[in-house]
Amino acid sequence: MTDQEIKKLVSDVERLERVGQRLFALLDEIDTADDIAKENDAWFRKRVQYLQRKRFEVASTDGYTVTLLEVK
């Protein structure tokens, strides 16, 4: 394996780690919203609808295929 191939693999792994961290942070925000909402289902649904849209900051989809975006 060449140095260039190794650098590309390292870059790809780092990008995947950033995507994973961002997606996990979104799940954590949804969990926190659940803790805050208590019995307020309308607020919780509104908050989750807002948060779930943030997934498109790290990936796009045509409904069949997910394409990861560059995350900084």
59-70: pLDDT as tens digits: 999 999 999 998
- Summarize pLDDT for 6-55 with one digit per residue, the tens: 999 999 999 999 999 999 999 999 999 999 998 999 999 999 999 999 99
The residue range of the domain holding 39 is 3-68
> What is the domain count for the chain?
1
Residue 71, pLDDT above cutoff 90: no
| pTM of structure | 0.83
Look at phi and psi of residue 71 and say left if phi exceeds 0, alpha if psi is from -120 to 50, else beta.
beta
